[in-house]
Amino acid sequence: MLKRASQLFLPRLINTRPISTTIIMSEAKQEHPKQHSSHKKKSKLQVSLKTPKGTKDWADSDMVIREAIFNTLSSLFKRHGGVTIDTPVFELREILAGKYGEDSKLIYNLEDQGGELTSLRYDLTVPFARFVAMNNIQNIKRYHIAKVYRRDQPAMTKGRMREFYQCDFDVAGTYESMVPDAECLSVAVEGLTALGIKDFKIKLNHRKILDGIFQISGVKDEDVRKISSAVDKLDKSPWDVVKKEITEEKGQSEETANKIGEYVKLNGSLKEVHAILSQDEKITGNDLAKQGLDDIATLLQYTSAFGIDEYISFDLSLARGLDYYTGLIYEVVTAASAPPENATELKKKAKDKDEDASEYVGVGSIAAGGRYDNLVNMFAEASGKKSVKIPCVGISFGVERLFSIIKQRTELTAAVKPTATQVFVMAFGGGKDWAGYLPERMQVTKGLWNAGIEAEYVYKAKANPRKQFDAAEKAGCPLAVILGKEEYLEGKLRVKRLGPEFADDDGELIDKKDLIDVVKTKLSEIHEDGINEVARLLRGL
């Protein structure tokens, strides 16, 4: 009976497609008591069942993968001494105002709520600085995993969305120069390699070096930030396009733009670029640039100690458009970060340029961060608190962008099942006296739960073999524990591997008391090297 049932009813893959649905709601006809001859016309209200632009629902195996990313990163943050916090999803509008440069236009502003103007948080950094200032915290290592919101053009398949998760690790407090900065860079490397991403580079620059270059080139102090925003586009646009923006849109001279161009095209290893800049008398003669060079010289010792030099590229074109950065800045890129070579052509051909930009943009940076020493003090002074400088530095991982890269490991992704179920408890029998062993299945399942083993059973008293095998396949579990009508009365259970390749295998008959040990042994054999499908996916094995 068992062999035949497993052959006939071993699960078949079920493919489902999302269905776009429209609900039509009709108001019933109503008659006014005094107007029997006139009837109100039917009115119809159409509701499209879709998520807002730039957002999506997450379910099934995608959620399993995302949860594994969160767990990997939160474990990393804890290893580095991080404590977690949470802040409101919206902040007072004045808290966010003026912190993001040209990107401030992407903030979601909310309606007036009882006299308070609020906005959805744009990132997790500004709320953290507000939290530190508000609570008079002198030092903290914190991590925060939460959603942020940006009214940007989405590119859904590239992980560029309007609602997305960030995973941040920040260090606030006064410490030896560049020590927290180096640790944040190490956190970036550890986090990405733990997710199986190896072909990445940390593009690094120093805000003081960049500001020194602008001063040397003749940019006025009040124009520095808008020129930074233009230079920051060099990862997406060629120098000719950026130069045109600097001169025609930002009002700088041709000479100034050319001087900037001489520097921002420079990139290489930390040691190489530091050596080149150290021999430049204009750079060493500028106070700001010299401070930045000294920081890089110190940083070189620590990145070498952490063994992460091979991942770092000193790139003077990196500017990071956010206004609050004061020192070291960095962002992590991969081959998938850049847009396609024919991006301009693809953009022209795109049918709806406002809907989704996936065809002609890249993933962008998958992690980024830097030093922001004045942000906490800015909040403290604005609120009338005692002025105190709390230096800060941090790194932020973009989960949606990481997810889009991990999903490209198609074979490994296909092996990930939507549930964590490892064992399906079944019962086979028949005859007039057969009740289905439902309480008995529940009892066996409870024993597995108590042992920390993920298990399920069919919620039906008399479930036929096919329904049980179908349910086991849908759960994606690799093992079945079977209660045979006669075998169970003799204190026996059957443990069977599931899957087409085991159709002819009746499984192993064991004593009830040995169930937990046998199941654990078989599960360890199933997961090669003790690693399950999700762990194999994240590690790229």
What is the pLDDT confidence band of residue 351, given thresholds at 50, 70 and 90? low
pLDDT of residue 341 exceeding 70, the answer is: no
Residue 345 has pLDDT above 50, yes or no: yes
Q: What is the mean pLDDT of residues 2-14?
A: 40
Residue 103 annotated in ligand binding: no
Q: Which two tokens stand for residue 5?
A: 């049932």
211 is in an annotated binding site: no
Helix H or strand E segment including 413: helix 410-414
Contact criterion met (CB below 8 Å) for 196 and 96: no
Question: 441: annotated binding-site residue?
Answer: no
* List of residues 6+ apart from 385 with CB closer than 8 A: 133, 136
| Span 190-199, pLDDT tens digits | 999 999 998 9
pLDDT in tens, 364-404: 889 999 999 999 998 888 777 776 789 999 999 999 999 98
Angle at 204 between CA 201 and CA 205, to 5 degrees: 160
Instruction: Name the one residue in this structure whose structure tokens are 């259970």.
Output: 493
| 170 labeled binding residue | yes
Please report the pLDDT score of residue 29 as a whole number: 41
The continuous run of DSSP H or E covering 455 comes out as: strand 455-457
**Which of 3.30.930.10, 3.40.630.10, 3.90.1150.10, 3.30.470.20 is the CATH number of 60-412?**
3.30.930.10
Domain locations along the chain: 60-412, 423-539
CA distance 386 to 411: 57
Largest CA distance in the chain: 97
State the CATH class of domain 423-539.
alpha beta
Residue 224 pLDDT level (bands cut at 50, 70, 90): confident
Name the pTM for this structure: 0.82
How much is the mean pLDDT over the chain?
86
Has 372 been labeled as part of a binding site? no
To the question of whether residue 466 is assigned a binding role by annotation, the answer is: no
3-state secondary structure of 515: helix
344 is in an annotated binding site: no
320 is in an annotated binding site: yes
| Res 326 pLDDT > 70 | yes
Q: Which DSSP helix (H) or strand (E) runs through 44?
A: strand 44-48
- d(CA 272, CA 487) in angstroms, rounded, equals 74
Question: Does 324 carry a binding-site annotation?
Answer: yes
Q: Is the pLDDT of residue 45 over 90?
A: no
- Distance, CA of 157 to CA of 301 (rounded, Å): 39
